[in-house]
Structure 1
């Protein structure tokens, strides 16, 4: 008997998924556990399995469809079965959403107009900052022009600045670059024909609506819940970073001779945090409403920025691993995170998180606790400045860290003990190699 295959919940936080690619087509045989499609969740692109034995009689959702968990995506049964009733049932249960726009039936090939639309990067929903800087919105009065049907004009930064200086409406200029891109020579040619007038008004760029991705929705929900339900408090400490930076440089010299990848200060910080959590286990805990769960394991997350948001893969049993092992694991997890290939078990159920913005030149900041953990450490950049040592003013390096704590679990004195231990490990870093 034919059955409806539904959108599977592929991660604990997944509420909807987008069909990225069908790996099976109508008429293909499938069996339980066989991969039938790739689905983009709020965190990664994952594989969706079949739960029935039979033949795919109908594919109900096109590639690109965004559907809630439990929505019908296909019908699986015996070849030749009458599935008209099931198709009708599926049609009624598929939600009508602007962003999903699924349709009942086999996956259709994109039309010529759709292919052209996909080829126009200026019409993407979430353009990069570089694209935003090189594209200027035009007024509605210009939209009858075929060249301007997308509502955007592509122009080089130099052409855009020249047009702005001379009060030229880019909607009146014909571009000679690739795909009609307006170049400097086009602005100069337009001026020679009498177009534009210095000091005249310029078309103001229009607002842009950016649709929310599943990842961004999840991030918004979790952060709003964390800040509204967890009583955060913050402890900031400036440490002498000279010893830990010297140790990193020394280790990297040896690793270079061995042909291995370098370690970072963040790798050493992660190791220091793992040992601090062993010394101050109260911080390695979670609030459970009627009790506090103090974790026996030390699983530390590293906040990784990826396209569309942020994800936190975890280094499991970090306290039992060497700095080099931690470094290799972080690099591997971060790489797969950016490819959206992490498994749910790799970015859930941790005990502590480190967020480092030092590579962006941020000297200090506060981070939002990654619920249900009890704390998160925000790490700033290494700052070179004059410091006092042995009553002398000398050149030094400092690092500022801020511990965000859940006050239901961690008291001020407990958080201070954690940071005190952190100072000891980082200012005497050889202990990180033997701990």
Structure 2
């Protein structure tokens, strides 16, 4: 019987998904894709085919349990797979820590180890692991694979991997991990020349940059946690570490209060006091909205220059992610701050959302490439399943957890 793989990309209140049929030679063909958004009062499911034609739209009362949410999702997707049987589900997991440097089949020990990493990604890790637990509950025999956002950066050179702290801290796993690795891997796979010096700007609610050379991560802006680096929708990004001490010692703020401040009340929403949504800020005439946008663009431009420095130059700048792909104004403002590097963009191509937006006179190319994390999850899951079946042909029939 033909097989299918489901890729799940879970957030705190939504799940993006894509289902693929596995063909001859393990080729993957997109069967359907979509999203499941859960809000306070309702859950909204949208399913599209490979050409982005809407196949289903379904709204129901919001469900409290992850198991019910997963059951709803599977119930809508599986009938669209035709004669293919769902063989495995791949999950985006934000933090793999020092142990998980490649995709892995999930069992109870793996799940426990991933749960222990929650303090390093409190905003993301629980949402990534909930669907895994739900599937164990409703489909205990279904194989599940964890695919890590940190894995792409696992082999960062020591210059950019290590913090300037005593060696024993790195021995305890305190190092730069980096995130958005599935997105960066997709971009790296899609480029014609792996030798190019590439800076990828993944800009969205969470934002980070990555310097890529020879298809590998050289440096990145996020580090131990997804809080570091660029300012984001609600996250502060890099700040003076002494601020944390000051807030504790002088303002008597607890660790949980500081976590709430830096993860949920900072960044665009903190600076503007209006919204964490870049679209709303761009439409606003409020001076604070402009200040928040200016600081965001200045921070991104500065760090693009830093990423270029670690490669002794840049051949290609790629914009991706929700803001990077869809906001020509933000791209324009960021690139204007890099004119001193010889960057020149074609304003009309940029406004029309063309793939290539640099001029012929530009010292390096600038492209807009929509990311596809789900396809990377599916490929990594397929590879793990192929390997597992080679090692044990009966593995598909065993309970992984």
Q: Which protein has the larger Cα radius of gyration, Structure 1 or Structure 2?
A: 1
Structure (1/2) with the larger helix percentage: 2
Which TM class, normalised by the smaller chain length? Answer: under 0.3
